[in-house]
């Protein structure tokens, strides 16, 4: 089980994120917050990108491929569902995440195509694409 603790105080939107070994700060950009750290959607994109990068690194290492660097550029936007032709939702907004992969190393086209396939198997991405239930309790 993965656990984190999130604390807010009286400093606008500054939020402290704690794991058992790390402390990070999240915030909103000015003028809402003080821009002391990434906003929640940036953390979401970083979670996906870091998982994809690690997944590709593990696969390339196991295969002995010359993957020297992976760069993953991610963008998130939301569109009204009426502007989405192939979406299942019927109302509200649909979130789109655009992921661009850049590989550096001595890789042929077949290896790059396989890495593209493997990038879709990142556990964090798979979690977001499957059903998620969030249970909330008041302590």
pLDDT in tens, 67-87: 999 999 999 998 888 777 777
Structure tokens at 41: 């959607």
pLDDT in tens, 87-135: 777 777 888 999 999 999 999 999 999 999 999 999 999 999 999 999 9
Length in residues, the chain? 139
**How far is 57 from 33, CA to CA, in rounded Å?**
36
Q: From residue 100, how far is each of 47, 79, 114 by CA, in Å?
A: 15, 19, 15
For the chain, give every domain's residue range. 1-37, 39-129
Q: Which superfamily is assigned to 39-129 in CATH? A: K homology (KH) domain (3.30.300.20)
55: helix, strand or coil: helix
Q: What are phi and psi of 85, to 5 degrees?
A: -75, -35
């Amino acid at each position: 089980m993965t656990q984190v603790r999130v604390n807010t105080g009286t400093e606008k939107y500054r939020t402290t994120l704690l794991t058992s070994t790390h402390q990070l700060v999240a915030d909103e950009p000015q003028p809402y917050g003080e821009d002391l750290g990434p906003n929640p959607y940036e953390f979401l994109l970083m979670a996906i990108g870091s998982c994809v990068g690690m997944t590709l690194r593990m696969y390339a290492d196991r295969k002995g491929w010359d993957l020297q660097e992976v760069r993953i550029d991610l963008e998130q936007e939301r569109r009204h569902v009426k502007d989405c032709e192939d979406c299942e939702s019927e109302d509200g907004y649909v979130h789109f995440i655009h992921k661009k992969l850049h590989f550096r190393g001595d890789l042929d086209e077949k290896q790059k195509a396989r890495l593209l396939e493997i990038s879709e198997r990142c556990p964090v991405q798979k979690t977001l694409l499957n059903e998620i239930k969030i249970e909330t309790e008041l302590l």
